[in-house]
Structure 1
Amino acid sequence: MKLFKIEDEKFDEILLKAGVKAVSSTYLPVVFLTAIIVGFILFIIFLIIFNILYAIFALIGGVFIVILVGVLYPYVLAEEKAKSIDENLPYAFAFISALSSANIPVVEIFTSLSKEDIYGGMSEEAKEIVKDTKVFNYDIITTFLRRARITPSKKLSSVYYNIVASLIVGAEMKNIFHEIYDRLMEDRKLELLEAIEKVEILSEFYVIACGMIPLFVVMTVPVASSISAILQSASMFGNPNLLPLTFYLWVPIASIIFMGLVYGILPKDFKLNVSLLDILKEFDEPEIEGIKMKFKWKPVHFITLFLWMLSIVFFILFFLRKSLFMFHGTDFLMFGILFLILPFILTSYWHFIIENQKEKYYPIFLNDLTMAVRSGMDIIRAMQVCAKTNYGPLTKIVKKMAIQMSWGRPVNEVFEDLERTEKSLIAKRIASILKECAVSGGDIKDILTSVTVHAYKLSEMKREISARQFIYVVVIYLSFFLYLGTSYIMIHSLLPTLLKNVHGGLGIEFYKSYLFQGVLIYALFSGASLGILTERSVIAGIKHILLMLIVGYMLFKLYIGG
């Protein structure tokens, strides 16, 4: 009985950490009852459709699966919550540290944090702290001790105990929060670098899988095929079907697996929420406070329509089977598809570049704003001064905020709009701190200083990570050009020599066709993989895709395959 009691207590703790509103004495019976009901239903269904043997297997399998899922669910949920907390922990404490600079009470800081959904699991933790202190009237020390035991994150539990110790001895919480933030940022930086090391290992396998193996197949198939034709014997490596299998199946599948693994390993700390459908927003009628404004034509509209007209022309040339210079047939089909989707691709990539550039200017803008406020200006006057400075793509936003503030709009609403409209997580976090800073009414100088330091740390961290990843961008490009060089040697030297004494076999045009298609497929998937590798976004790979496609296509048409 004691053993079962221990297990129940452990499961109760897991349920508590997972946020499941039940105890094991009620949760487990519900799981077992559900398993029996599902098993009985499956037994009846399989008995009617098949026979008693299948029905028994369905009964046992159904009961086992439901119990397994029911028991594992709290563990999985707790693990997901812990992951969300750990990912957002340093950035949440940047928020806490900034507000504490203005000597805002601890409970009020966590109340503000609970309203910010961008901090994921930390926002939920803050809601629990607020509920315990304001609804159940626990004192702040008891609340932190309780959350230290309940939270699924070991790292956050340690932080809670640190806060409790500081509260007991009466330490200056502003300094404690600053120290915790600095330590968490250093830990997060190390975690990101560890993730990059894992991705580096995967990148080496990717170059082998999608770069070296296709080259091996391209070089082996014609050689083995020619030898088989001369000896009049079959060879597995001489089977021409290996070429389409390699380019249409192996390269896409290996690339998708690589992108999925990298996307799962790399954290979301610097993710930009840019969509391929951003072009559609350019054609929306502008709307201000529910009032639709007159539609205005922009350069993007004319460019989009021009590209779509070119697409129609290329489709017509394809269906009429016309030739133009060295282009014909499938070339026009490819051009038609490319120009049809090009507006989506270029617009989304342009938005991606803009958001990336804005991230780089945020620390500079915040530093200027902080200096202006420290010189004695209020936030509105300081924003007007900053609006006269060039911050690249951020300038328009700064001017808009300055105008809104000068018209008397509340400062917190201006920053709230910034948080809602920005697509960068870094920008959203900065805006959330500035918004709460305006609401709290604390000393804005110290808060702005803290936010500026945080912004520079994030910028430095992102630069260091990008520098680590650059070498693998070079490696993947080298493997692409190695494939082009191998294709040139194959078509102009190896294949003519191998095939001149072989009669009735596959001609050079067959291999040339697959080598050309291999260039396009490799460019498409390698470019997308580079986007995931460098920025955790396929959209970031658009420049690599277009560059590889254009260079590969033109080199093949002009010099390699004709």
Structure 2
Amino acid sequence: MLSLKKLDQADYEKKQNKKIERELPYFITIMSLLASSGFGPYTILQKIKDINLLPVIQTETIKILKKIDMLGVDPLTALSQAKDKPSSRALGEFLNGYVSAIQSGGNVVNYLKSKMSSSYDRLENLEKQSVEKLSGVVHGWLTMQIVILAVFILVAAIGSNPLTSSGDQTQSDPPYLLLIFSPIISIAFMKIVQKMNTSNIPEIELKKLLKFCLPPFIVVIVLIASNVLSNFHANAYILGIALVIASLWPALKFQKIYTINIHAESATPQILRDITEARKAGMGPEKCIIHACKRKDFKSFNIVANTIANKLEWGIPMSNIFETLQKEMKNFQVLVSFRILFEIISSGGGNVNTLDSLADASEKIHNIAKNKRDMLQPYVIVGFMLIVITGFTTLLTIDSFAEINQGKDVVHTNNAQQNTAPNSLLEVVSIAVVAQAWLAGLFIGKITKGAYSGGFMFSLLLTVITMASIGMIQLHVINIGSILKPASST
């Protein structure tokens, strides 16, 4: 019983450590900028307590403030006690250095700025490590898919199932069960990467997804189960069209949100840099924000930025402006940058050095996120490779073997049955490949954009490509069987 409790406690501390590691750079940034504005430890903790963008740090801060307010502990003593208890070693080291710098009379601001810079370097290394882990998962997923479909091709081509047959040339049913493993493995890998890559943009709500996805799936189930179109061998097309229709709305919805957030992420460092330069010219802090947010080159973020400027001109408090911004934007980097900006200026600390440090921090945040996206972007090709290698090649090979077998003059009986079997096999494989293409899109979306919702566009494109491949094979646009047939003697 005690060992189970220890394991649970260790698991909890490990999870807390990961969360704190993610929030720590922003926590250090806030402390550094507020300290450079002249605020002491207690005031800084009071302000961080109200920042809900950093929930784990907020919880740790509330614990420290309770010791100060309820037990009358000195702020530095409370921080010294806290450094020995947090789950994150990095947080403990930071608090220890912060307290030591104050007690020794050292330059606290320089210490905080150096820790801020090193924390972003640490965050960049963590992101690179996460990309390497994702790379290993993607290669493992691709290898598994290729192996499964290669085994299916071999067994189907031989014409006997080695698991149940002695290996003679008698005709047996193809191993359709193998086709189920590809979608199952894709779903398993999608579960594996669930926590490995997260997005600043939340997933589309499940209720809204079901509203648009359920009707096409119900129609597909009815049509395939009733065999209404069985004579046309169109089940793969029916499934593909349904998947395209189901993916269309979430793909467009997420793409719109994603584009706005990317433009906002790119515009935020520019806005903060403009604010800094305007402040150097002698403008007031609020006027600097108004001047920077009235630019027209922020693309889809223009409306939001211009709204911030207009509300400041109308005299609306910055806290209310941020609440509105938080409802419209879900990008963490954008929100934390504006939250720090508004907190600094509303507290009267908008000096040039502080704003310059904030602009530098925002640029680092943007560059880290952009570099991670750029490193993950090539994995979009993996989804298309999957279709070309395992989808198109599988269908083409099976169709070619069928053509070769039909061209042999070894057996002259049961021609109708022999012509039906290849069509049935090709149709079943086509359905499996269409389903696999759709799941592959969701997997690639999670890898590259951090959200399953970001994969609907890839799913849509891969499904269309797969249906085009099936059509090319059925129409014999590419026919290896005819190439391999022996030339007829004249």
Question: For the residues of structure 1 that align with 2:171 and 2:38, how far apart are their CA atoms?
Answer: 76
Corresponding residue to 2:201 among 247, 272, 295: 272
Question: For the residues of structure 1 that align with 2:215 and 2:189, how far apart are their CA atoms?
Answer: 36
Corresponding residue to 2:74 among 111, 114, 139: 139
**Structure 1 length as normaliser, TM-score?**
0.73
Question: For the residues of structure 2 that align with 1:152 and 1:477, how far apart are their CA atoms?
Answer: 42
Question: For the residues of structure 1 that align with 2:382 and 2:240, how far apart are their CA atoms?
Answer: 28
> Which residue of 1 is the match for residue 147 of structure 2?
213
* 1:361 matched to 2:270: no
Within 5 Å, which residues of 2 pair with 1:125-204? 125-204=60-139
Q: Secondary structure at the match of 1:264?
A: coil
> Which residue of 2 is the match for residue 350 of structure 1?
256
Identity of aligned residues (%): 19
Contact 2:244 2:463 in 1 (8 A): no
Question: Counterpart amino acid of 2:10?
Answer: Y
Question: For the residues of structure 2 that align with 1:378 and 1:238, how far apart are their CA atoms?
Answer: 85
Shift of 1:314: 10
Shift of 1:369: 2.7
1:275 to 1:237, Cα distance in 2 relative to 1, 3 A: farther
Question: For the residues of structure 2 that align with 1:481 and 1:535, how far apart are their CA atoms?
Answer: 23
1:276-302 alpha-carbon deviations (Å, 9 max, x no partner): 46969xx9xxxxxxxxxxxxxxxxxxx
* 1:95 matched to 2:30: yes
* 1:527 matched to 2:441: yes
> Using CA pairs below 8 Å that are at least 6 residues apart, which structure has the higher relative contact order?
2
Within 5 Å, which residues of 2 pair with 1:283-362? 331-332=237-238, 334-336=240-242, 338-339=244-245, 342-362=248-268
Question: For the residues of structure 1 that align with 2:28 and 2:207, how far apart are their CA atoms?
Answer: 33
* 1:259 matched to 2:166: no
Contact 1:144 1:160 in 2 (8 A): yes
Question: For the residues of structure 2 that align with 1:372 and 1:441, how far apart are their CA atoms?
Answer: 17
Question: For the residues of structure 2 that align with 1:484 and 1:460, how far apart are their CA atoms?
Answer: 37
1:329 to 1:159, Cα distance in 2 relative to 1, 3 A: closer
* 1:461 matched to 2:461: no
Shift of 1:468: 2.5
Contact 1:278 1:344 in 2 (8 A): no
CA RMSD of aligned residues (A): 3.6
> Which residue of 2 is the match for residue 242 of structure 1?
175
Question: Counterpart amino acid of 2:255?
Answer: Y
1:437 to 1:390, Cα distance in 2 relative to 1, 3 A: same
Question: For the residues of structure 2 that align with 1:436 and 1:452, how far apart are their CA atoms?
Answer: 14
Deviates more, 1:521-530 or 1:217-226: 217-226
> Which residue of 1 is the match for residue 384 of structure 2?
477
Question: For the residues of structure 2 that align with 1:222 and 1:310, how far apart are their CA atoms?
Answer: 32
Shift of 1:368: 2.1
Q: Secondary structure at the match of 2:384?
A: helix
1:331 to 1:379, Cα distance in 2 relative to 1, 3 A: same
Shift of 1:560: 4.7
Contact 2:433 2:466 in 1 (8 A): yes
Shift of 1:179: 0.8
Question: For the residues of structure 2 that align with 1:308 and 1:529, how far apart are their CA atoms?
Answer: 20
Question: For the residues of structure 1 that align with 2:140 and 2:217, how far apart are their CA atoms?
Answer: 38
Corresponding residue to 1:408 among 315, 331, 355: 315
1:247-300 alpha-carbon deviations (Å, 9 max, x no partner): 33x12221122222223233x4x53124146969xx9xxxxxxxxxxxxxxxxx
1:236 to 1:435, Cα distance in 2 relative to 1, 3 A: farther
Within 5 Å, which residues of 2 pair with 1:19-168? 69-168=4-103
Contact 1:412 1:438 in 2 (8 A): no
Shift of 1:147: 0.7
1:443-482 alpha-carbon deviations (Å, 9 max, x no partner): 2433332222122111211222223223433234223212
Q: Secondary structure at the match of 1:507?
A: helix
Shift of 1:321: 5.2
Shift of 1:76: 3.2
Question: For the residues of structure 2 that align with 1:153 and 1:202, how far apart are their CA atoms?
Answer: 27
Which ranges in structure 2 are unaligned for 5 or more consecutive residues? 477-490
Contact 1:101 1:450 in 2 (8 A): no
> Which residue of 2 is the match for residue 546 of structure 1?
460
1:162-209 alpha-carbon deviations (Å, 9 max, x no partner): 112211221222211111111111112112212221221221111111
> Which residue of 1 is the match for residue 481 of structure 2?
none
1:328 to 1:527, Cα distance in 2 relative to 1, 3 A: closer
1:333 to 1:521, Cα distance in 2 relative to 1, 3 A: closer
Question: For the residues of structure 2 that align with 1:354 and 1:236, how far apart are their CA atoms?
Answer: 60
> Which residue of 2 is the match for residue 49 of structure 1?
none
Question: For the residues of structure 2 that align with 1:364 and 1:398, how far apart are their CA atoms?
Answer: 12
1:434 to 1:247, Cα distance in 2 relative to 1, 3 A: farther
Q: Secondary structure at the match of 2:123?
A: helix
Question: Counterpart amino acid of 2:352?
Answer: K
> Which residue of 2 is the match for residue 487 of structure 1?
394
Corresponding residue to 1:373 among 253, 267, 279: 279
Question: For the residues of structure 1 that align with 2:84 and 2:169, how far apart are their CA atoms?
Answer: 62
Shift of 1:400: 0.9
Deviates more, 1:488-497 or 1:533-542: 488-497
Corresponding residue to 1:389 among 269, 285, 296: 296
Deviates more, 1:396-405 or 1:460-469: 460-469
Question: For the residues of structure 2 that align with 1:236 and 1:396, how far apart are their CA atoms?
Answer: 70
Contact 1:529 1:541 in 2 (8 A): yes
Question: Counterpart amino acid of 2:200?
Answer: K
Shift of 1:552: 1.3
1:68 to 1:240, Cα distance in 2 relative to 1, 3 A: farther
Question: Counterpart amino acid of 1:133?
Answer: I
1:252 to 1:95, Cα distance in 2 relative to 1, 3 A: farther
Question: For the residues of structure 1 that align with 2:222 and 2:158, how far apart are their CA atoms?
Answer: 41
Q: Secondary structure at the match of 2:71?
A: coil
Shift of 1:225: 1.1
Shift of 1:396: 0.4
Contact 2:235 2:431 in 1 (8 A): no
Q: Secondary structure at the match of 1:178?
A: helix
Aligned residues: 464
Question: For the residues of structure 1 that align with 2:34 and 2:41, how far apart are their CA atoms?
Answer: 9
Question: For the residues of structure 2 that align with 1:456 and 1:161, how far apart are their CA atoms?
Answer: 28
1:240 to 1:435, Cα distance in 2 relative to 1, 3 A: farther
1:493 to 1:116, Cα distance in 2 relative to 1, 3 A: same
Contact 2:251 2:454 in 1 (8 A): no
1:308 to 1:346, Cα distance in 2 relative to 1, 3 A: farther
Shift of 1:313: 11
